[in-house]
Amino acid sequence: MKKYSLNSKHNLVGNISYQAGLSIIELMISITLGVLLIAGVATNFIGTKESDKMRSAISEMDANARVAIGILRQSILHAGYPSMYNVRLDKPFYTASDGVLTNPRCRGGSVRRDLQTPSWSLRTRDSGRTDVITVISLADNPCKTGSTCPNTNINPNALVYYDCVGGGFDRRDSRVTECSADPKVGMKDPTQAKIYSSFWVNRSRNLYCRGSRGNTQPLVQDIEAMQVLYGVKQDDGSLSYRRATDVEASDQWSLVRSVQIALLVRSSTEVLKTPSDKIWYTLLDVRRRIATSDLRRLFRVYTTTINLENVKKGALL
């Protein structure tokens, strides 16, 4: 057996290499760099999360505004619609000069024209935080013959026979025929074949619609305020946009050719880190103040202009 001495160059212990490790200074530098790196990642993560939250809130507001304006546009485009029978209306809106509405019976007296007519509070008017607009159109008869419409009896020329919440859309309901402007089977007085659609914003910040052939339904939430201006045709052909009160005072509803609408929309949740300094927002020509409890929410104003093509000619565009 081969023997090794302690002093031999082949000493096994002498061949083992040792590592001294990190000094305290190197360790502190490493920890500091690690903390800075983690802090940077955390800050970036938080910033990204806040940005995503902001973008999500804005997208939601944009979507609510699109839906609200789309619904308003669809109904207001029907304002003054004379039906396919070209029965002219005096004006396209229900206003104070109309007084309290009654609900006459339809052809034969068996059913009433509507489930409900607009209440006096829903006349087209200016009002505090939200304006009210009630659109009038005359009802087509969606059936070719008879009092109801199976699929083989649908009148393809019928364009308007239901309100803003879909009331009257069911062609199996005899009211859609007997309460239409059809001179043969509809209302004896075709000018009474009116469909009303009323819009306003309630205290819970929902855009509501009440249809005369249906009922009352919330349509879009987080609508803070709504203002409506009416474009009155001038002698030179231009439009002068006025509030409902001014149009009513001058009895110029029959001259309204366009409608401007502004919606103040808020985010559904609080997204701002600190309360906003902005408490006033301008819609069209009025300012609305938001609640102090909402200063961490986002607010935006959305506007649109709708031309009343049916006031000028019979065809619905």
Give tens-digit pLDDT for 103-138: 888 887 766 667 678 999 999 999 877 999 999 999
CA distance 268 to 14: 75
* Whether the Cβ atoms of residue 179 and residue 188 lie closer than 8 Å to each other: no
Q: Tell me, what's the pLDDT at 246?
A: 96
* Whether the Cβ atoms of residue 261 and residue 228 lie closer than 8 Å to each other: yes
On the question of pLDDT at 87 being above 60, the answer is yes
pLDDT digits over 268-282, tens only?
A: 999 998 999 999 999
CA distance 11 to 9: 5
* Whether the Cβ atoms of residue 105 and residue 113 lie closer than 8 Å to each other: yes
How large is the average pLDDT for residues 56-71?
A: 96
Distant-in-sequence contacts of 205-209, Cβ < 8 A, 24+ apart: 205/266, 207/68, 207/71, 207/263, 209/71, 209/75, 209/163, 209/164, 209/165
Could you tell me the pTM of the whole model? 0.81
pLDDT digits over 139-149, tens only?
A: 999 998 877 78
Q: Tell me, what's the pLDDT at 314?
A: 39
DSSP 265: E
Other Cβ atoms less than 10 A from the Cβ of 314: the count is 15
Q: Tell me, what's the pLDDT at 106?
A: 86
CA distance 307 to 230: 10
Q: Tell me, what's the pLDDT at 301?
A: 97
Q: How confident is the model at residue 226 (pLDDT cuts 50, 70, 90)?
A: very high
Burial tier of 163 (Cβ tally within 10 Å: 0-12, 13-18, 19+): buried
Q: Tell me, what's the pLDDT at 45?
A: 58
In 119-132, which positions are buried (b, 16+ CB within 10 angstroms) versus exposed (e)?
eeebbbbbeebbbb
Question: Which structure tokens are listed for 10?
Answer: 């082949």
Higher local confidence (pLDDT), 173 or 56: 56
Helix, strand, coil share of the chain (percent; to 5): 30, 25, 50
On the question of pLDDT at 42 being above 50, the answer is yes
pLDDT digits over 163-218, tens only?
A: 999 988 887 777 788 889 999 989 989 999 999 999 999 999 999 999 998 889 99
What element of type H or E holds 299? strand 299-307
Q: How confident is the model at residue 316 (pLDDT cuts 50, 70, 90)?
A: very low
Question: Which structure tokens are listed for 242?
Answer: 């006025």
Q: How confident is the model at residue 74 (pLDDT cuts 50, 70, 90)?
A: very high
Q: How confident is the model at residue 317 (pLDDT cuts 50, 70, 90)?
A: very low
Full DSSP string of 155-167:
-TT----S-TT-T
Q: How confident is the model at residue 16 (pLDDT cuts 50, 70, 90)?
A: low
Mean of the per-residue pLDDT values of the chain = 86
Q: What type of residue is 79? A: A
On the question of pLDDT at 21 being above 80, the answer is no
Q: Tell me, what's the pLDDT at 108?
A: 72
Question: Which structure tokens are listed for 93?
Answer: 């809106």
CA distances for 247 relative to 80, 91, 124, 232, 278, angstroms? 16, 12, 11, 8, 32
